[in-house]
Amino acid sequence: MQVLVIGAGVIGLAVAHTAAQAGHEVTVAEMTGGIANGVSSRNSEVIHAGLYYPTESLRARHCVRGRRMLYAFCASHNVPHRKCGKLVVATNAAELAKVETIHAQAQINGVEGTEMIGGNAARAMEGELSCIGALWSPETGIIDSHSYMRALWGELEDRGGMIAFATPVERMSFKAPYWRVQFGGREPGTFDFNAVVNAAGLGAQALARRIESYPAEQVPRLVLGKGNYFGYAGKPVFSRLIYPTPVDGGLGVHVTLDMAGRMRFGPDVEWITEENYAVDPRRADGFYARIRGYWPGLPDNSLVPDYSGIRPKLRGPGEQADFLIAGPAEHGVPHLVNLFGIESPGLTASLSIAEDVVAKLA
């Protein structure tokens, strides 16, 4: 089939790579001038193990499977990554009960190697840590996500696929046997494809509304969960990822590390109604309080506003979130898959989601 993938974020690139591998002729349309200019360049770059997500949820399934696929891809394509492991820490009895629940869920989800350890064992691993117990997850890691996305792009081109940049998809309609797709940008025009994948991230709902005869009730609402990061202006003190217990809408302000070993904190959860990426320095106050819960040694004036990202959520505060992968079986429109709500752990899950999407295209 001639397959059009809309969006060159990590999900669109993984789908394009997988579709090309399955023998399809693949074109990616991206409205900006490069790959990874959306949600995919504004995250924690963590390879999640799959600890938290509810049984049978798409996030649980695709995170665990996607993580295994991603480590294998990194190894075979020389993508820089480090399986550094992560500690989910408890600083009081109520948090310990929460961490134990996460451990039980991790076991149901089939996550390998997790174990509960005491405060002393945790401090033996990370000397600066203050906690009464922790969940140790050895399968969690970090990745240079841009190298990963470049590798997917390279694979796509090796199989004859291509990305058209500065090419927004404006609308489309299905006239059997083709999808007629109208492009804007520098060279506007209309082209036919056998199948279409909407991997437009924060733009997925807006695009779905411009698909002729697509049922309006099948377009979910979009809820924006902004996550702010603060950099640490000092020598890193942790060599593993350190997470507190999760909060509503996110995993809690945690220690993230990049491949160069630099330490930063975030993301928090700020519910917003319009896209904006400014990091308000005043939010640092809340960060100091939360981080000192597990790292009392955090010096004053050491946090500097860094970047932010926006989670394309389908649910608001207090509601359970999941991915929505809507193919013909769900919405009744042939050869079309819409991806909605691909928030965390979308990077980790990307190769597994891609396999599902390609299977739904037939």
Ligand X SMILES: Cc1cc2nc3c(=O)[nH]c(=O)nc-3n(C[C@H](O)[C@H](O)[C@H](O)COP(=O)(O)OP(=O)(O)OC[C@H]3O[C@@H](n4cnc5c(N)ncnc54)[C@H](O)[C@@H]3O)c2cc1C
CB of residue 90 vs ligand X: minimum separation in angstroms?
Answer: 21
Smallest gap from Cβ 48 to ligand X, in A, equals 5
Closest CA to 84 of 133, 43, 143: 143
Q: Please provide residue 227's backbone torsions phi and psi, each rounded to the nearest 5 degrees.
A: -125, 120
Site membership for ligand X, residue 105 (CB under 6 A):
no
- Residue 216: phi, psi to the nearest 5? -60, -35
Closest distance of CB 282 from ligand X, Å:
19
Q: Is 227 in the site for ligand X (CB under 6 A)?
A: yes
Q: Closest-CB residue for ligand X?
A: 346
Q: Which stretch binds ligand X (CB under 6 A): 78-86, 119-127, 151-159, 344-352?
A: 344-352
Confirm or reject binding of residue 141 to ligand X (CB under 6 A): no
46: which residues sit within 8 A by CB, 6+ positions away?
Answer: 86, 140, 141, 142, 143, 241, 256, 345, 347, 348
* Position among 24, 48, 59, 61 found at the interface with ligand X (CB under 6 A): 48
- What mask of x and - would describe binding to ligand X in positions 146 to 185, judged by CB under 6 A? ----------------------xx----------------
The length of the chain is 362
Contact set for ligand X, span 180-219 (CB under 6 A): 199-203, 207
The residue whose two tokens read 């990370």 is 126
Nearer to ligand X, 67 or 96 (CB): 67
Alpha-carbon separation of residue 242 from 48, 54, 359 (angstroms): 13, 22, 37
Question: What radius of gyration do the chain's Cα atoms show?
Answer: 21
Q: Which is nearer to ligand X, 37 or 239 (CB)?
A: 37
Question: Which of 44, 105, 109, 114 lies at the binding interface for ligand X (CB under 6 A)?
Answer: 44
The amino acid sitting at 26 is V
Q: Which of 343, 355, 356, 358 binds ligand X (CB under 6 A)?
A: 343
Q: How many CB atoms lie within 10 A of CB 80?
A: 14
* Span from 7-15, 95-103, 157-165, 293-301 in contact with ligand X (CB under 6 A): 7-15
User: For ligand X, which stretch binds (CB under 6 A), given 240-248, 268-276, 287-295, 338-346?
Assistant: 338-346
Size of the residue set binding ligand X (CB under 6 A): 41
Cis peptide before 80 (omega within 30 of 0): no
* 12 belongs to the binding site for ligand X (CB under 6 A): yes
Closest approach of Cβ 300 to ligand X, in Å? 26
Closest to 314 in 3D by CA, of 179, 236, 218: 218
**Contacting ligand X (CB under 6 A), which of 9, 50, 161, 327?**
9
Buried b (16+ CB within 10 A) or exposed e, 344-360: bbbbbbbbbbbbbbbeb
Point out which residues pair with 266 in neighbouring strands: 254
Q: Where are the alpha helices (DSSP H) in the chain?
A: 10-21, 58-76, 93-108, 119-125, 145-158, 204-208, 284-294, 328-331, 346-361
Least distance (Å) between residue 31 CB and ligand X: 4
Nearer Cβ to ligand X (59/103) = 59
Which residues of the chain form contacts with ligand X (CB under 6 A)?
Answer: 6-12, 29-32, 37-40, 42-46, 48, 168-169, 199-203, 207, 227, 267, 309-311, 342-348
